Chains A and B, each alone.
Chain A
Amino acid sequence: MIFNIATKISIKNRLLIQFGLATIVISVILYLLIKSIINHVIISTQDKLLSAAVNSISEKIYVDKNELSLDLPYDTFSLIGSISDDKIFYRIDLNNKFLTGYEDFPIVSKFGNLREPIFKNISYNQQNIRVASIQKSIFFNGQNNDVYVSVGQTFNLQENILFKVTNNLYFLVFIYLFFSFFIALLTAKLTLSPIKSLANKLTNKEPNDLNYIKDDLPIELTPLINSLNGHIRKLKIILKQTEIFISEAAHHIKTPLAVVKSESEIALIKSKNPENRDHLKNIISSINDVNRSTSQLLDHAMILYKLERPEISKFYLINKLNKIIEALRPIAEIRNFNIKHKILSKDKLINLDLILYETAIRNLIDNAIKYAEPESDIIIKTTITETYCKISIENKINKIIGAPKKELFKRFRRGINSENIIGTGLGLSIVNEIMQGLKGNLKIKYNKGGIFCAILLFSF
């Protein structure tokens, strides 16, 4: 049965969303972190190159005939420019007057020394430039002269590396997200598989199966399992109490009834008055009905109990069946029925609950005796294979049953042909429940010639 329960977001989707959000946050943090580290490394590298360049240039400034001269180092320019095809700008000032280089190149406000140049980001010709600047003193013309050297480089190196790294990072983040999604999906599936397996197990559980759930399940599901087992225990107790109540009630009724029956029989023997005798006969007949019904109720309660705790024993199936037939034969003969047992296979030792087996067979033969046309045959056919057993019980009926086959399996449901026949309507219901408990099947067939056929099919 499927119940419509108001559901929110599934656990799977919740896990996926949480996993996805966590992955995205981690990816963004990683991306920013890696980018920042790389940026820092590149700027440090560029600063070292510029520092080397500015020092190299300053070393090539010399005095020639009281005039400042410069032998700009070719290799330095070639090196710093060729690493990433960066543009290079420089400016050299002497005593705050432009000496050589790019005259429009901005003069920085602070200058470092040979060991520690000052680095700054500036804008020149609509380009971002990293500049290293130093100041040094050169003595000539009888005084100390201040020389300011600035070397600037565009950010091509940085931009190129960042572009490549960013592209790789995008790819890595994409791959990371892709795999994370699958891992999330797998994790969600693995996490939920015990719950699914439990749900399947509970769905497939027979209504009569009140066995406790003892599967190896994750510790997180223990409270749920304990709770379910608690419910099963309560159900068992209720069932047990019901069985005890029924059986006790039956015994409480049967004992006084037996007394009433024996007293009525004594009174019948002693009574000479025909009218009183008729009354007493009616009373005895009614007591017999009540007694039978009580027995069947007892049977039913016992069956429910036995299905819960079956006692498997070994016995020969046909041999046992013959004994049941022989026990019922006197009753059948009183009613002029002949029971014929057609054995179609060899007898076999089987493992089954004997009481359940006997109860099912006895109920079916009892039914046949009750509803068969007088002086007809009751035919029992038995077939045993390696894995299952088929027992059919046929009897001729003279009236239409007048109810659908499945209706006959319901408790206290009887056919039209049961009028004037003592019974409770529990017989077929008990057999059906036994067959369900044994994972077998009870079939009802109407064969030609008004033959009613009940077939038991069960494995052992």
Chain B
Amino acid sequence: MRYIIIFILNSLFISKSFSLQIESTNIYVNSNEEINLRILSSTDIEVFSPILKKFSESNKNISIEYIVASTADIYDEIKNNRDSRFDLVMSSAMDLQIKLANDGYAKNIDVSNKQTMPNWSLWQDKVIGLSLEPIVMVFSKKDVKKIPNTRSDLISILRANSNYFNNRIITYDINKSGAGFLFASQDARQSNSFWRLSELMGSLNAKVVCCSRDMLNSIISRDKFIAYNIIGSYAEERAKSEKNLLIVYPSDYTLILLRSALIPITSKNDSNALSFLNFLLSSTGQNFLEKKGMYSVYNKKIIQQGNIRPIRLDTGLLVFLDKLKRKRFLKEWNETIFQ
């Protein structure tokens, strides 16, 4: 008989084993009461809960523990904790995932439908893309009358209405958020307008937060009017119930994040992790993800759109993790945001 126990820890919790700050833990217990698939993920449980339930139903010998943590903490846990108990890591921080794999912290993954997967969604058979997620701008419909479609338009609107938008912008704190740092570094590669926009947001006392959830809550509560660089799937999911949210996929360029997974070298149940990955990459799993506002890795239409800039899953991502480069980038960003 299958039953599910769910713990939701709203407050931050510090793991006993290491300095892993757990945001929430969910357990799906099956006939086998001993947990034999531990997933460490940066994705909110709301997104993955239906998939985990479905997988649990069809795999009665697998009991799952799903732990949510920040991308930076996930990286630290896998890199520094030699006794890490996790069997699967899913993260939106592609750069940190590549870094873990490059530095030898990931096992080989041999998914069953590898042949049908696009080449760009795999790196060295160690990091595997799960879904495509556009990085979007979110506006409060009621508070922003003229919605910009490009970053240049946004800059123009902010400059023209600096008093109105003062203290009304929110974005990632890239000092704390791995995903935020990734989006910012990729923005900097794509266009010079990023630094102009950052400087402008800094002058307008933009608020920086750790996560997409906080950004969306601020827009929903109308405390903030503009959220910049937010993961599209979260926004789309919330927009279903919150009519005030207006999502814009910038037409100058829209970054596409590849949410990725790896099996840590310390995993003791890698076959269960592989089963779950196979399920996620099956049409059933991908359908579940698409229902949550993500795009399937098999979706060719989105990749072929002109304004789409997928972040490539390759060793180029290591560059912004370099101590000196990161330091310089954060210094410049902090100088522009915190004026």
Contact = CB atoms under 8 A, between A and B. Distances in A.
Interface of A: 64, 69-75, 77-82, 85-89, 99-102, 125-127, 156
23 contacts: A69-B324, A69-B328, A70-B328, A72-B324, A74-B316, A74-B319, A74-B320, A77-B314, A77-B318, A77-B319, A78-B314, A79-B316, A81-B318, A82-B314, A85-B314, A87-B101, A88-B102, A88-B318, A99-B324, A101-B323, A102-B103, A127-B104, A156-B124
B124 A125 contact: no
Interface string B265-304: 0000000000000000000000000000000000000000
B322 A78 contact: no
B323 A100 contact: yes
B325 interface: yes
Given A77-B315, A87-B315, A88-B315, 19 more contacts: A70-B322, A70-B328, A71-B325, A77-B314, A77-B318, A78-B312, A78-B315, A78-B316, A81-B316, A81-B318, A82-B312, A82-B314, A87-B124, A89-B102, A99-B324, A100-B323, A101-B322, A126-B104, A156-B124
B240 interface: no
Contacts of B102: 87-89
Contacts of A99: 324
A73 B102 CA distance: 17
B189 interface: yes
Interface residues of B, number: 19
A70 B316 contact: no
B338 interface: no
B194 interface: no
Contacts of B314: 77-78, 81-82, 85
A81 B325 contact: no
A145 B299 CA distance: 52
A271 B328 CA distance: 161
Contacts, number: 63
A interface, by DSSP: helix, strand, loop or mixed?
A: mixed
A75 B316 contact: yes
A86 B124 CA distance: 7
A71 B328 contact: yes
A40 B320 CA distance: 34
A140 B101 CA distance: 37
A101 B319 CA distance: 10
B195 interface: no
A302 B319 CA distance: 112
Given A87-B102, A127-B104, A72 B312 contact: no
Interface in B35-86: none
Contacts of B124: 85, 87, 156
